[in-house]
DNA sequence: CTGAAAGCGCTTACAG
DNA sequence: CTGAAAGCGCTTACAG
């Protein structure tokens, strides 16, 4: 079934083509100084023998692996974002004939193992690190990795970074809610798990700043850090709904969390956006279907640009190894945001909580 | 910033530890025949010099790369499924100290390039292929790859395969709808794009068989092949809604498509499940939030088992290289499926189409 | 238990 | 334009 015959080597190709191994090597790499006839003989022989190059052998002499590693948190956490970025990276690297080595780190011990053994060290020409909050020691380890490192969806001074301005994006989103007339705006974010970051910190900062600029007080009670699970989010929503003065809008850290919020609000009869506006962040592929207003970013562009950065650094060592590329975000207003209810906010909130779900939704109690 | 000093080699470690390179190699691989003192001197020296092994060099002599390749369609197509499976694979392989090489193929030309060059050939010890419908030629190419191949989310006689019984899963789903009393059940699937498969074929087969067993005629008009896009799905739903006799339930090939269907039905005021039941397939992480009834499968288990299969084949060449592992599916009934409306189906459908959306939804016109 | 030597399959000066 | 030779950093018989 499976052909277990020995793989053809350059020596085999050389014999078949009647030239030396050196010539085979040069012809296959497209070096100019090879006669057309020798080249075509080599190509024919290579095809005939199904020759394929051993990168191990070439790596050994060139010192280059033609491989780029990417370190990322478990994809199940943010499959849409990470999956899309990864696909974009693979596309760009594939064009440059660079292979993509993926290291997924799911928990603390896997993380420790990665930074301890640093398997990327001699097995990749560059490393991309996505969405991690690194400790000082971890950053140091990366610094003497010996290969270029590009930070993606995160940034550090003096290191190549490709990211969005999360604070600014959040600021735009909050400004939208303010422009609609909202004054009590809540924020929900996931409690950061073992320093796997989704930019929670900067989005919160943007929220705070936008409120401040509008002259609104920052209210701790309006900011929830929930566990990243349906149950955690439900509890967060519960906290909002049980505040003495209910907010009229909530800005949620990610679309994936916002989908849960929408579902929970709907299930308890709080009309969105009639009683509560919901704003997400990401512009997830399902945001349109769920009519979720959100702040858009593009993981595709992020991955593309990070990979291009890597391949240009590898192709041209004289290029700037530490650029910062800041990608744009923009507001995508949809049906989940609208002006707050006419009634005094406090009263509206109280009403929503008293009335039975279906009646509250139909509004005819 | 970046330490560009030469990476330490075994020769450096040997010098530092005062032993030969052979001993370093043996000590580091944990070969038994090394004296405890030699071993500890080597370990200390290795740590001190931040030595890490060049896999290229060891590969060259052992013929093993300690790398497993996975070939998959662009993750943006089914990010949840593929991302989760990939994460599971990475976890299992990481434990076995195997690296994961990812080849993403987005379109026809990338696909041709992959099978032409077969970059995995000498650069991985095994290959996992996810969700592809392969042509005969492609399968042949894989057969003389020279390394074990495991098919994931797809299967072929005589080749190692890890998959679910899509037909059976679909059958269970349709049976659920039949049990609820539905008799006109539509099916929506995505038109297969360039032979990247999502098991569309087998799910359709399960649909047909369940209907047949129930003595219901197969009606071509109830089966839609739509483009995999919001617009395509909208057109598909439009076709269903404009049939002379509207179906009372629709079985959608994947949850991600079903989410769009739910959204479209809601936007045109067709109550789910009052007027139309919707059943998905996958049990996507958002299915619960959206209250979608579905047939569950586990990409996590799929990835886990595929990777375990690979690492056991690599660890023990005498193990069966062509097992078929069929993973279970099960129905997850939620709020999007219910008995069909009381009224005769045809009339109900007509009514739903005449009435203005909001009124139809409130049901009080 | 340890070391010297050969060799894995390439690339790269170096000669011609 | 081409080939013989050295060497990349390991592992593995083979001797001791």
Delimit the domains of chain A by residue range. 10-62, 67-164+300-326, 166-297+330-350
Strand partners, B61: none
Q: What is the least distance, in Å, from the CA of A314 to any CA of chain B? A: 14
Instruction: List the structure tokens of A144.
Output: 């003497």
Give the CA A317 to C1' D6 distance in Å: 28
pLDDT band at A75 (very low <50, low <70, confident <90, very high): low
CB B75 within 8 A of CB A84: yes
The reply to whether CATH 1.10.260.40 applies to domain B10-62 is yes
CB B39 within 8 A of CB B50: no
- Residue linked to tokens 């944990």: B30
The reply to whether CATH 1.10.3720.10 applies to domain B67-164+300-326 is no
**DSSP H helical ranges for A159-298:** 166-180, 200-213, 230-241, 255-267
Q: What is the least distance, in Å, from the CA of A58 to any CA of chain B? A: 9
Q: Is A190 left (phi over 0), alpha (psi -120 to 50) or beta?
A: beta
Residues in chain A: 365
* A2, pLDDT greater than 60: no
- Region B275-298: what's the mean pLDDT? 96
**Better-predicted residue by pLDDT, B252 or B228:** B252
C-alpha separations of B8 from A157, B32, B48 in Å: 28, 24, 10
- Region A271-279: what's the mean pLDDT? 96
Cα(A166)–Cα(A168) distance, integer angstroms: 5
**Strand D protein footprint, C-beta under 7 A:** A 19-23, 26, 32-35, 37-38, 57, 60-61; B 9-11, 21-22, 25-26, 28-29, 51, 53-54, 57-58, 60-62
Is residue B38's beta carbon less than 7 angstroms from any atom in nucleic acid strand C? Answer: yes
Q: Let me know if the fold of B67-164+300-326 is the same as that of B166-297+330-350.
A: yes
A189-198, B35-44, B122-131, B331-340: least confident range: A189-198
Cα(A103)–Cα(B136) distance, integer angstroms: 33
Give residues with Cβ within 8 angstroms of B62, minimum separation 6.
none
Instruction: List the structure tokens of B241.
Output: 């809604």
Residue of A nearest to B58 (CA): A56
CB B278 within 8 A of CB B265: yes
User: What pLDDT score was predicted for residue B343?
Assistant: 58
C-alpha separations of A50 from A228, B54, B141, B349 in Å: 50, 27, 10, 60
pLDDT single digits (tens) B206-246: 999 999 999 999 999 999 999 888 899 999 999 999 999 99
CATH topology of domain A166-297+330-350: Rossmann fold (3.40.50)
Closest residue to C6 measured CA to C1′: B61
Neighbours of B215 (CB within 10 A): 6
Neighbours of A359 (CB within 10 A): 11
Indicate the SS3 state at residue A189: strand
- A99/B83 touch (CB, cutoff 8 Å), yes or no: no
- B144/A50 touch (CB, cutoff 8 Å), yes or no: yes
* A244, pLDDT greater than 50: yes
- Region A196-215: what's the mean pLDDT? 89
Instruction: Name chain B contacts of A56, Cβ cutoff 8 Å.
Output: 55-57, 59-60, 65, 122-123
* A311, pLDDT greater than 50: yes
Give the CA B59 to C1' D15 distance in Å: 26
Q: What share of chain A is helix, strand, coil (3-state, %, to 5)?
A: 45, 15, 40
pLDDT band at B122 (very low <50, low <70, confident <90, very high): confident
């Amino acid at each position: 079934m499976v052909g277990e015959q020995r793989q053809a080597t350059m020596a085999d190709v050389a014999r078949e083509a009647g030239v030396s191994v050196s010539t085979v090597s040069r012809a296959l790499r497209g070096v100019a100084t090879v006669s057309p006839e020798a080249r075509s003989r080599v190509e024919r022989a290579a095809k005939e023998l199904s020759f394929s190059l051993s990168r191990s052998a070439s790596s050994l002499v060139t010192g280059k692996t033609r491989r780029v590693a990417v370190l990322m948190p478990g994809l199940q956490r943010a499959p849409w974002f990470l999956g899309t970025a990864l696909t974009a990276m693979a596309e760009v690297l594939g064009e440059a004939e660079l292979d993509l080595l993926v290291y997924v780190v799911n928990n603390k011990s896997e993380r420790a193992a990665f930074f301890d053994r640093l398997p990327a060290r001699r097995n990749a020409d560059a490393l991309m690190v996505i969405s991690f909050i690194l400790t000082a020691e971890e950053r140091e380890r990366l610094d003497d990795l010996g290969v270029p490192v590009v930070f993606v969806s995160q940034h550090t001074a003096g290191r190549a970074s490709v990211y969005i301005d999360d604070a600014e994006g959040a600021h735009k989103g909050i400004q939208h809610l303010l422009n609609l007339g909202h004054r009590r705006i809540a924020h929900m974010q996931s409690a950061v798990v073992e320093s796997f970051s989704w930019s929670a910190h900067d989005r919160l900062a943007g929220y705070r700043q936008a409120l401040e600029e509008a002259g609104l007080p920052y209210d701790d009670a309006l900011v929830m850090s929930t566990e990243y699970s349906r149950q955690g989010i439900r509890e967060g929503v519960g906290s909002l709904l049980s505040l003495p003065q209910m907010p009229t809008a909530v800005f949620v850290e990610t679309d994936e969390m916002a989908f849960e919020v929408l579902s929970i609000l709907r299930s308890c009869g709080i009309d969105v956006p009639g009683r509560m506006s919901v704003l997400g962040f990401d512009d997830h592929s399902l945001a349109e279907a769920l009519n979720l207003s959100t702040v858009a970013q593009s993981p595709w562009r992020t991955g593309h640009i990070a990979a291009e950065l890597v391949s240009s650094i590898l192709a041209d060592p004289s290029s700037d190894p530490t650029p910062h590329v800041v990608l744009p975000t923009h507001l995508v207003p949809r049906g989940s945001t609208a002006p707050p209810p006419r009634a005094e906010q406090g009263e509206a909130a109280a009403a929503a909580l008293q009335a039975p779900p279906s009646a509250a939704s139909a509004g005819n109690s």
